A and B are shown apart, each in its own frame.
Chain A
Amino acid sequence: MNTHLPGSARRWHDLLEIAALAARIFLGGLLVAFALAVLTLLFAAPSYAGEGDTGQGTLIIRLPDGNGVALPALDTEVAIRVNGPLARTRVVQTFHNASDGWQEGEYLFPLPENAAVDRLRMVIGEHVVEGEIRERAAARAEFEQARASGRRTALVEQQRPNLFTTRVANIAPGARISVEIEYQQTLEWRMNEDGGHYGLRFPMVAAPRYIPLPTTAEEIADAQRITAPVRHPAAGPAINPVRMRVELDAGMPLSALRSPSHALRVDAPHANRRVVEFADGAAPAERDFVLEWTLAAGQAPRVALFAERGQDVDHALLMLMPPRLPSDGRPLAREVVFVIDTSGSMAGASIAQARAALALALRRLRPEDRFNVIEFNSITRALFDAARPASTDNVEHAARWVRKLEATGGTEMAPALAAALGGAADPERVRQVIFLTDGAVGNEETLFRLIEQRLGDARLFPVGIGSAPNGHFMRKAAAAGRGSFTYIGRLDEVQERMSALFERLEAPMLKDIELAWPDGAQADYWPRKVPDLYAGEPLVVAVALRQASGTLKVGGRGPQAAWSTEVDLGRAAPGSGLGTLWARHKIDALLDLLRSGTPEDEVRPQIVELALAHRLVSRYTSLVAVDKTPVRPADAPLQGGQLPLNLPAGWQYEKVFGQLPTGATGARMHLLGGTLTLALGALLFALTRRRNAFA
């Protein structure tokens, strides 16, 4: 440069040079950026998305109806009487109208998936109205009519085998209406070396469910029925307090009793009996209540038989624990596919439990096993293209992959199930699919059908994760997948539960179980086709027969030898509510028929007849209670709507219901940064020039 230029001209010259440099840098940057973009994107022609992974669905968000509309407050009282492996429960939901207008309310709540709901009573102070069983539409019409005419009324409908709604109308200002529901159920019973383990699970909150692709009007209406507004946890302390009282009579001395879910106050009036209450009096409805007890070693019976005499037929319930089968010593050659749910509902505590369970399961693999891991949320992603040997390297790689899994997005379960059950199966190996999920989906029926169709020789083992898993999904998916289910509710249960699951997977199974009833018994027993039994699982059969007497022969086949035993039906303990349980088992079996293709017109009348005869709430029947006299004046308006639910404990609201997408790039920040550094560059450039010129 020419130093003889006058000062001002030189400055102009410098500025021009800086501008030119800046332009060059900017253009260069753009060029580099463009080249980068081309490189990363412009490689090949579009390819097609895999079949089935385009599904998108809905998590219906329902906001509390209306703004500022007062809703009745709710509290719940639960009394459970346990007698051996049977339980009868009374749930009292009290709707309290604190406003000075007339109110109504609708409450969506879960019950155990095998609950046979057979009684409804509406209690208004001293006044009790007994509920009647009706076909669903008739019950609804009766309720709507009573509601409109100002009479107090309550309706209980089943939306899923484990999901119900209560509707109550015409609650007077300042008054309460209690809805009493009773149900019968059999308890979970498992056996291992140290004795018999029993489990009672009382679900307390209907978890929000993901509903894929609701297209038809019927599907959308169904989605609305299983969805309720969910309170944001930041909106204050949890609502709907539940008080619990369990009176337990095991019939044998108990050795241990615990609840992994709640702090308890336990009374022991007798070696066989316990009375259990929540330590804090009441707990909010935000997690399942789980109670587990163990019978003293050596005391646990292998057979539990109850009978109830009826006028025409007797009903009986048999629970039979087969002995531990000898193994043939050869470890099973197997292919284990782990499927982990990484949808938004799993975020928080659940994904931590699922990751821990998966990590543990990976360590249990033997080097001769083959394995793969599949994660799914809105899309399905597999670790390997196909199952690989469980070498140290592969297992390490998988463990690292699993550690990085995060939970977000929808719950598109079907493509993941299809991927896990499909593919070229190795005929030499048993394929075991271990499926970790909370089951928070609304399309259970479609999924069960898919499992049945694609199962082949594979076996499906659902592992229910979190504070409020969908028990109906776990039980039926295991049944359809001819496997067995497990629950993990807390991180510290992972070790114990996964070990128990793996023991079951590795122990030999009892197959081809057959029942020979005494001659002339005319036994109508369910399930008709007894499923294969894993080690430590009991056979459970409900039967209606002419007379509970004679001898029942039970036989099955293990890997080594055949097994058989005899049960004297005359020595049954007296039980109550067995007819209801039998009807519930039969309805279950009929609904399974529906899934395997029998037209609804054939199944429905049978279910309706059974349910009406046994006063059972079912898919097609509801209980309705209507008071005789109108109480609400014709001109007084009725306010209210659907009661909001707590978010299940450990869930993250934003991960489930999402938040609005982020809508800005960092481009402007980069441009600003670029401009600033360029200005700095210009300053430095000027400084160097000045040094050169004047030093």
Chain B
Amino acid sequence: MKTTTNCHHCNGRDFLGVECAWPAPDCLGDTRRRDAARRRTQLLRAALVLALAAALWQFGQAGYIHAKAWLAQHLIAQAWAQTRAGGAPARPWPWADTWPVARLSAPAQGVEVYVLAGADGATLAFGPGHMYGTAEPGDFGNSVLGAHRDTHFAFLQWLEDGSELELETAHGEVLRYFVTHREVLDHRDTRPLAQPDSGRQLTLVTCWPFDAVRAGGPLRYVVTAQARI
């Protein structure tokens, strides 16, 4: 059987043209079937190229998001060093509409991130954002920080009650906070934004659940930490 198929396979690489006792009809005059076959092959090839390009684009996007998040933090680190040295807030790149306002670290998780001013989508791509309208990080009152659960705030899922957080302010003050409360809330619930009457509080907000594939769900994971000096 094998020889029969092979000797009639005139498009194959091993076909010499005369292997069979009779020529295959495909290899003689009936070009209609051959052209159709070729067209199908070409179509498949085009679809393959398209699929690969789409895959490339998708992976590129994902890579871009992560690369941006990672790289921006390095630039912000430089801006932070300048801010700390010069006093005036430095922008990490000239056209940035944000600047670092604090450095947040979780020693047990080995995480160090620079917090930016403003918690809108454009800012959160580069780092955790401090929500306008809440107390300045390190100040008395409640400072609310938001970041993405799959980049800068992925470590929130490992925090437990009593976990330590360290915050360095632009004045060089280093404050130690301890997690007191964790909860899951709807994004419209503004209770985590309320200002306490006394004390320094840090509220870290990210999306929940952590392992969801889709972004933009309605739930938020809220970690509250109190300063202890």
Contact = CB atoms under 8 A, between A and B. Distances in A.
Interface in B36-72: 37, 40-41, 44-45, 47-48, 51-52, 54-69, 71-72
Contacts of A49: 88-91, 99
B215 interface: yes
A110 interface: no
B45 to A, nearest CB: 6
A373 interface: no
Interface string A49-72: 101001011111111000000000
Interface residues of B, number: 95
A695 B42 CA distance: 13
Contacts of A687: 44
B93 A59 contact: no
Given A56-B132, A695-B9, A660 B192 contact: yes
B205 to A, nearest CB: 5
A660 B205 contact: yes
Contacts of B111: none
B207 A33 contact: no
Interface stretch (B158-166, B171-179, B182-190): B182-190
B213 A672 contact: yes
A668 interface: yes
A41 B71 contact: yes
A10 to B, nearest CB: 14
Most interface-central of A30, A56, A660 (chain B CB within 10 A): A660
Given A48-B91, A660-B185, A664-B212, A695 B11 contact: yes
Contact of B67 (A30, A45, A409): A30
Contacts of A59: 133
Nearest to B220: A660
Contact of A670 (B5, B51, B61, B79): B61
Interface string A35-47: 0111011111111
B20 interface: no
A667 B40 contact: no
B207 A57 contact: no
Given A33-B67, A46-B78, A670-B59, A665 B125 contact: yes
Interface residues of A, number: 75
Interface in A345-370: none
B59 A29 contact: yes
A130 interface: no
B146 to A, nearest CB: 3
Contact of A665 (B44, B56, B65, B131): B65
Interface string B74-112: 010011001000101111111001010000000000000
B101 to A, nearest CB: 8
A664 B51 contact: no
B125 A661 contact: no
A210 interface: yes
A25 B188 contact: no
B118 A664 contact: no
Nearest to B60: A29
B215 A685 contact: no
B188 A667 contact: no
Contacts of B13: 3
Contact of B136 (A56, A662, A668): A56
Contacts of B190: 61, 657-660
Interface stretch (A118-126, A153-161, A274-282, A674-682): A674-682
Interface string A200-217: 000000000010010100
Contact of A654 (B71, B131, B188): B188
B70 to A, nearest CB: 8
A453 to B, nearest CB: 22
A379 B131 contact: no
Contact of B118 (A3, A44, A378, A677): A378
Nearest to B190: A657
Contact of B117 (A56, A215, A663): A56
B167 interface: no
A673 interface: yes
B217 to A, nearest CB: 7
A58 B155 CA distance: 28
B29 interface: no
A25 B117 contact: no
Contacts of B189: 660
A640 to B, nearest CB: 18
A681 B50 CA distance: 8
A83 B54 CA distance: 76
Nearest to A672: B213
A22 B55 CA distance: 9
A401 B118 CA distance: 22
Interface of B: 5, 9, 11-14, 37, 40-41, 44-45, 47-48, 51-52, 54-69, 71-72, 75, 78-79, 82, 86, 88-94, 97, 99, 117-121, 124-125, 129-136, 139, 141, 144, 146-151, 153, 185, 187-195, 205-208, 212-217, 220-222
5 contacts: A49-B91, A56-B117, A661-B129, A664-B149, A691-B37
Interface of A: 3, 21-22, 25-26, 28-30, 32-34, 36-38, 40-49, 51, 54, 56-63, 210, 213, 215, 378-379, 408-410, 654, 657-675, 677-678, 680-681, 684-685, 687-688, 691-695
For the complex of A and B, 7 pairs with smallest distance between CB atoms: A661-B146, A674-B58, A33-B63, A29-B59, A663-B206, A663-B207, A681-B51
